[in-house]
């Protein structure tokens, strides 16, 4: 690891997504803004709303960035040119996780409402499932289904686009599952924040668990295999291989690492809620 780029981004960087413009887009949860950061460190900030709490962000099939607004119950959309729009949800929904799904659709979790919603290409919002349990982050799986963590129910949900739902309990009680990601080994990985473990599901097989101290929060697939995990409680990030071996990288004390994303060039970006984003060349 060399040539680490650190960019000061005030406002509480929380989650990131690689944009189609080869920039990285960041939610600023404390200031109610969205930031765009280039590989050279050029920063542009766009105002959303003071109490919107922009949370998770993803790239849609339309080439825009879509993000959840947990504070004011909306789904936000921003073009690579900085044009903002929004979709209003039911009051108290508290949308949090969001991901691109099959056929150009977007899927999101509503934590307080306990539902999973779909946004079609024309902007129509449909409630597809209501599993309860505080659905948190969501990811498109290698099997064409949507996988999501159920933070309050200590479970992982699998939702087919047709609406068929399966819920699996996490083996460790009160584990606090949060982050989730599909990987290149046809598995789904998720973090267990309270239990300090990393979970792995080889699609329809049994859930596997690995001890990973430091309160793991977000997880993202590494293109070369395995996953990267942010260890919020330890100010570290870790790379975990498919064999379970982990390599840990220390971050500055008090940095509060949250979201991560892999850029088009394979670099790892990390959001540090203390007010920075890091770009780490990998490989």
**What residues are labeled active site?**
258
> How many CB atoms neighbour CB 1 within 10 A?
10
CA dist., res. 104 & res. 61, Å (int): 5
Is residue 233 within 8 A of residue 257, CB to CB? The reply is: no
CA dist., res. 253 & res. 274, Å (int): 10
Q: What are phi and psi of 89, to 5 degrees?
A: -110, 180
**CA triplet 230, 160, 18: central angle to 5 degrees?**
35
Strand (E) positions, 24-121? 24-28, 33-37, 43-47, 54-59, 65-69, 74-78, 84-88, 95-100, 106-110, 115-119
């Amino acid at each position: 690891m060399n040539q680490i780029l650190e960019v000061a981004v005030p406002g509480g960087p929380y989650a990131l997504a690689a944009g189609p413009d080869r920039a990285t887009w960041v939610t600023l949860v404390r200031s109610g803004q969205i930031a765009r950061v280039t590989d050279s460190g050029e920063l542009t900030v766009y105002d959303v709303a003071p109490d919107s709490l922009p949370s998770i962000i993803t790239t849609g099939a339309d080439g825009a960035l879509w993000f959840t607004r947990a504070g004011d119950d909306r789904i936000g959309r921003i073009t690579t040119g900085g044009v903002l729009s929004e979709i209003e949800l039911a009051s108290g929904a508290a949308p949090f996780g969001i991901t691109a799904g099959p056929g150009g659709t977007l899927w999101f979790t509503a934590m307080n409402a306990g539902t999973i919603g779909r946004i079609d290409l024309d902007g129509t919002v449909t409630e597809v499932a209501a599993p309860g349990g505080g659905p948190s982050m969501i990811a498109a799986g290698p099997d064409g289904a949507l996988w999501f963590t159920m933070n309050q129910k200590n479970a992982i949900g699998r939702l087919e686009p047709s609406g068929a739902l399966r819920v699996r309990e996490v083996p460790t009680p009160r584990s606090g599952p949060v982050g989730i990601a599909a990987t290149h080994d046809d598995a789904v990985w998720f973090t267990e924040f309270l239990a300090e473990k990393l979970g792995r599901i080889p699609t329809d097989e049994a859930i596997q668990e690995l001890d990973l101290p430091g309160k793991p929060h977000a997880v993202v697939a590494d293109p070369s295999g395995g996953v990267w995990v942010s260890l919020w409680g330890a100010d570290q990030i870790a790379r975990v291989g498919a064999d379970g071996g982990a390599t840990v990288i220390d971050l500055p004390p008090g940095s509060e690492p949250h979201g991560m994303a892999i850029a088009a060039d394979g670099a790892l970006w990390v959001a540090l809620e203390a007010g920075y984003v890091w770009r780490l060349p990998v490989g």
